[in-house]
Amino acid sequence: MKKTVFFFLLMGMVAGPLQACRFTIREIGYTPLQLQTYIMQLEVDTVARKDLFEDFVRVAEDMSGTTNIRYRIAQKSGLKNGVISLLNTRGITIARKTVSVAGETDAFYERMLFSPLQRTLEQQIGNVFAFVVCFYERNDRETDQKVEDALEQFRKLAPTLDKSVSEQIMKILVPASRRKEEEVVMRAAGLDPAAPESYVMILYGRGRLVGAPLKGKEITTDHILNQLVMLGTDCECGIDLSPLLIRSIPLQWTERMGQKVADMLGFDAGNPMILSEMSKILSKEPTTTVDEALTFAPRTVDLDKVLGKTKQRQETPATVSGPSKTLKNTLLYTGLFLGIILITGLGIFFFRKK
């Protein structure tokens, strides 16, 4: 009996790490962890224009907790009207408007959160893997072909990612005639709506951006593909995740959206236990840096040479069968697998001897 208990205890010790819960970057993107917040600020004489003050408070109370927007009132004595602004975390003004009568706050709020693009995200979140938002003309076939090629290559690479991807990528085209409607989204992403330049940005999770948007000549098939593949990467891959998590656009987040995401992922990304585990992962210091020239072709690894240089630190991940399988993980799981075989053999030996 003691031998049996000892055998299963050893099995549990070895198998335990294999069952450790792992998340992809995209899955963490559906949580509020490290999510960028915006500030909606009203500058007003709270005594002389009590109507504007109360109107702003009403909107703040109604929408607080359902968006990544926080609210602030700045007392400005002597102001005849109010000035309402949307600021990012660095204090940069995204939008600004003078309000003179109650009710104009609602119109400003509508402009901040409910553009055609933002409404599409609200409706489709939980149905797609990510959104590729393209700011260029329909007749720009050269740029569009680069995007299409990246999407096609990603579909072929999807089975090699840390978790299989079954959802499609949604491509959204915003021509120049519609940029005015998306002015807030573009400015929040650091883009100039008035510039004639072409832009491509990838949104996922709670309206997060995968790094910086691509501009002009930066729009290449490889750059788009790299950003898409990054979303399917294991969040414990050792890279610095902050560029993939912190930046986001203003977006409303409802219970219905949360339920759709939970149905898609198979778990509730807002569950306290899940958030706690993800927080521990995010608190770890990155051990490597992202290779800007990521390659997706399998790379041959000479284990004899690697094992003979154990004192030499490896700075960049070695790709084995996909974009995020590091040599470290390969050796770890190989060792665990051999350990399980060894312990199983010992267990069988003890049982037969008994």
Domain layout of the chain by residue ranges: 2-21+296-353, 25-33+117-282, 38-113
Q: What's the confidence (pLDDT) of residue 319?
A: 34
Strands 199-204 and 82-87: unpaired
Taking the CA of residue 130 as centre, how many other CA atoms within 13 Å lie in the half-sphere pointing to its CB? Answer: 28
CATH code of 25-33+117-282, in short, is 3.40.30.10
Cα 199 to Cα 134: distance, rounded to the nearest angstrom: 6
Q: What's the confidence (pLDDT) of residue 278?
A: 85
Q: What's the confidence (pLDDT) of residue 10?
A: 41
Strands 38-44 and 82-87: antiparallel
Which residue do the tokens 């995204």 mark?
94
Cα 129 to Cα 256: distance, rounded to the nearest angstrom: 18
Q: What residues contact 33, with CB distance under 8 A and at least 6 apart?
A: 245, 275, 278, 279, 282
Angle of CA points 47, 50, 56, to nearest 5°: 130
Cα 168 to Cα 321: distance, rounded to the nearest angstrom: 22
Q: Same topology for domains 25-33+117-282 and 38-113, yes or no?
A: yes
Would the CA dihedral through 74, 189, 114, 104 be positive or negative? positive
Contacts 24+ apart (CB under 8 A), 180-186: 181/115, 181/116, 181/117, 182/115, 182/116, 182/117, 182/135, 183/95, 184/86, 184/94, 184/95, 184/111, 184/112, 184/115, 184/250, 185/115, 185/117, 185/118, 185/249, 185/250, 186/135
Q: What's the confidence (pLDDT) of residue 341?
A: 64
Identify residue 51 by its one-letter amino acid code.
D
User: 117 with 133: CB under 8 angstroms?
Assistant: yes
Q: What's the confidence (pLDDT) of residue 237?
A: 60
Q: What's the confidence (pLDDT) of residue 335?
A: 59
Q: What's the confidence (pLDDT) of residue 3?
A: 45
User: 244 with 205: CB under 8 angstroms?
Assistant: no
Cα 251 to Cα 191: distance, rounded to the nearest angstrom: 17
CATH topology for 38-113?
Answer: Glutaredoxin (3.40.30)
Cα 270 to Cα 175: distance, rounded to the nearest angstrom: 35
Instruction: Measure CA of the first residue to CA of the last residue in the chain; give whole Å.
Output: 11
Q: What is the mean pLDDT of each run of 10 residues along the chain (354 residues)?
A: 40 40 84 92 96 94 89 95 95 95 93 96 94 97 97 91 85 96 96 96 95 95 94 70 82 94 91 88 58 37 43 38 42 58 62 57
Q: What's the confidence (pLDDT) of residue 318?
A: 35
Encode 313-343: b = buried (16+ Cβ within 10 Å), e = exposed.
eeeebebeebbbbbbebbeeeeeeeeeeeeb
Identify residue 104 by its one-letter amino acid code.
E
